[in-house]
């Protein structure tokens, strides 16, 4: 849920550099690729809503302010083009194993 603001947190709390954040992202992507090949698992599915300037479809300013101050405010929906993400699994009924994965991304 807080995936989009993790780089902000790493930079503010630990002084992480862009190189370190890129390295962490690279490890995450590599692990996701390996899991996809060996187990039919994929991450970040079902993320829907407005992408630009939002965190899960909610205005980013509100989320960041609440994260920093700890003061709860009413969330405001973001405006703009919505995006729907999902995944389609093909499963072999005999072996009950995933044989193919297809990402679905609609704007």
Full pLDDT tens readout for the chain, 107 residues? 566 788 888 888 888 888 888 888 888 888 777 766 666 655 555 555 666 666 667 777 887 888 888 888 787 777 777 777 777 888 888 988 888 888 777 76
> What distances in angstroms separate CA 38 from CA 54, 61, 69, 86, 101, one per listed residue?
33, 39, 42, 20, 12
Contact 50, 107 (CB under 8 A): no
C-alpha to C-alpha distance for 97 and 30, rounded to whole angstroms: 22
Question: What pTM was computed for the model?
Answer: 0.35
């Amino acid at each position: 849920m807080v995936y989009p603001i993790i780089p902000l947190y790493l930079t503010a709390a630990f002084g992480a550099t862009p190189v370190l954040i890129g390295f962490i992202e690279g490890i995450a992507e590599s692990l996701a690729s390996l899991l996809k090949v060996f187990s039919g698992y994929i991450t970040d599915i079902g993320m829907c809503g407005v992408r630009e300037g939002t965190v899960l479809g909610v205005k980013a300013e509100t989320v960041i302010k609440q994260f920093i101050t700890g003061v709860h405010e009413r969330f405001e929906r973001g405006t703009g083009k919505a995006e729907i993400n999902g995944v389609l699994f093909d499963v072999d009924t005999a072996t009950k194993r995933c044989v193919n994965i297809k990402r679905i991304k609609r704007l």
